[in-house]
Structure 1
Amino acid sequence: MELVYMGKTKDVYQLDDGNYLLKFKDDVTGEDGKFNPGANTVGLTIEGAGKAALRLTTFFFERLERENILTHFISSDIEHQTMKVIPAKSFGEGLEVICRYRAVGSFLRRYGKYAEEGQALDAFVEVTLKDDERGDPPISKDALEMLGILSSDEYETLKEMTIQISSLVKAELAKKGVELYDIKLEFGRNDAGDIILIDEISGGNLRAYKDGEYIEPIALTKLILD
């Protein structure tokens, strides 16, 4: 297999059969040595983080498959921290779609004049450009269409899928007494042109709290799966 991309938390390899292999690493995003799912840099390395992320991702992707929600997932090898996926084409150079149930993180930094910390939000969906240099700026539906990144219909599909997937994740966490504050998802197009969920669903791309206390990624995996 051929290494095609070295990411912050995963490396991507192309396989001989045309599919891809994601290798989950123990690196997590953060700042000043502290984990932050919204950060653009690797903040620290946590032993076991890659395996924990893959275990939870596998659980959720298999759950989505049962709901007939399209993803890039094929199979996982937990021991080797790898996930086999189908090819997917990004929108532009990549989009991140956030679904928010509480006012925290960058939402609070931007809108703190009007929002209180922890204020309940009704599955608020926002799209940001994957652009580390510019701090992953938010972008509107109209701008996405004008710049040729996403059509108006594709945006509505993206928003609908985001709410559907986030709702499912929220419900699964709630079974363990855990509240989902926000989640960051990524999407692409498969070879047929369908919009599909890509990347991962783990403690590394969501904020979850139990009894008002934030749950670290590895602890979240153990709480949900063990």
Structure 2
Amino acid sequence: MTENTVEFGGQQLTRGDLLYEGKAKQVFATNDPSIIWMHYMDQVTALNGKVKEEYSGKGELNSSISNLLFTYLSNQGLQHHWLGSISATDELVKKVDIIPLEVVTRNYTAGHFVSRFGVEPMQQLSPRVQELYYKSDELDDPFMNDSQAVSLHFASEADLKTVYGLADQVNELLVALFNKIDITLIDYKLEFGRLADGQIILADELSPDNMRLVDQKTGKSLDKDVFRQKQGDLRVGYQDVLQRLQDALK
């Protein structure tokens, strides 16, 4: 592999034009129209990108954790866009048409859920709560209900049923995995996309950037809340999560 080319699946793939740059990742085209090249940056943001800092090595941590979790889900039969890791910070994924909705699954009360409803934090939610948000940095990802999403043609009722069903499958699998390594999965965000044939699959990333993770023994945050709340170096928690996942999944 060179910086811009890689041998993958029996073909030579070349990184092409930058298609999108988000808060923590860059997305590039490749010479195969069905495959996207994703690069994790050493950047951390809060308040929808209004607060931004560089953390050396953070991209590698996120990429490694995400790769482990997608591999774990693959082994459980769940469909997603991840194809494989090609470097410490880069991976290949299936090209999907991202549905402009974020699904937040809440297993415990935290964050905006606490302030919105005036409830105590860290209370287990039974049944779990699923929330829908419109994916728009300019509008600060506003909350959206199902009928709004359907009326605005972001997704059909059948699409939403599929998305919620996949989110439930992911939740069951991830909660079990994190419990195994003494971490509580408080809440997290998922994104989904459509393949060329219309199939909806899990997309984006799975990392402490879009999860709340709490050590079951110490109560310490192991996610981006450390940065949001200025509690220290978030890489310490990310490295802890990575090590525990490596030990559990090796």
Aligned to 1:15: 30
Partner SS state of residue 201, structure 1: coil
Deviations 1:117-144 (A, max 9, x none): 1111132111101122222111111111
User: What pairs up with 1:135-174 in 2 under 5 angstroms?
Assistant: 135-174=140-179
Deviations 1:80-121 (A, max 9, x none): x11101110022xx2111100111111112112xx2211111
| Matched-pair contact (CA < 8 Å) for 1:90–1:189 | yes
Partner SS state of residue 170, structure 2: helix
Change (3 A) 1:126 1:68: same
Query: How many pairs were matched up?
Result: 214
Q: CA deviation at 1:192?
A: 1.0
**Aligned partner of 2:114: which letter?**
L
Q: CA deviation at 1:68?
A: 2.2
User: What pairs up with 1:180-195 in 2 under 5 angstroms?
Assistant: 180-195=185-200
| TM-score normalised by structure 2 residue count | 0.81
State, as a whole percentage, how many aligned pairs show the same letter.
Answer: 29
Aligned equivalents of 1:41, 1:106: Cα separation in 2: 17
Aligned to 1:34: none
2:243 corresponds to 1:222: yes
Aligned to 2:121: 117
Change (3 A) 1:41 1:170: farther
Structure 1 residue aligned with 2:44, among 28, 31, 42?
Answer: 28
Give the root-mean-square deviation of aligned CA atoms: 1.5
User: What pairs up with 1:23-172 in 2 under 5 angstroms?
Assistant: 23-30=39-46, 39-41=48-50, 43-79=52-88, 81-91=89-99, 94-112=100-118, 115-121=119-125, 122-172=127-177
Partner SS state of residue 134, structure 1: coil
| Matched-pair contact (CA < 8 Å) for 1:53–1:218 | no
Whose Rg is larger? 2
**Aligned partner of 1:28: which letter?**
V
Q: CA deviation at 1:218?
A: 3.2
Q: CA deviation at 1:14?
A: 0.2
Aligned equivalents of 1:190, 1:147: Cα separation in 2: 21
Partner SS state of residue 120, structure 2: coil
Change (3 A) 1:128 1:202: same
Aligned equivalents of 2:60, 2:122: Cα separation in 1: 30
**Aligned partner of 2:98: which letter?**
S
For structure 2, the residue ranges without an aligned partner over 5 or more in a row are: 1-15, 223-236
**Aligned partner of 1:143: which letter?**
Q
2:218 corresponds to 1:209: no
| Matched-pair contact (CA < 8 Å) for 1:29–1:40 | yes
Deviations 1:52-83 (A, max 9, x none): 1111111111111122211111111243x111
**Aligned partner of 1:23: which letter?**
H
Greater RCO (CA < 8 Å, at least 6 residues apart): 1
Aligned to 1:36: none
Q: CA deviation at 1:27?
A: 0.6
Aligned equivalents of 1:177, 1:45: Cα separation in 2: 29
Deviations 1:171-203 (A, max 9, x none): 111111111101111101011101111110011
| TM-score normalised by structure 1 residue count | 0.89
Aligned equivalents of 1:187, 1:64: Cα separation in 2: 15
Q: CA deviation at 1:3?
A: 1.3
Change (3 A) 1:146 1:198: same
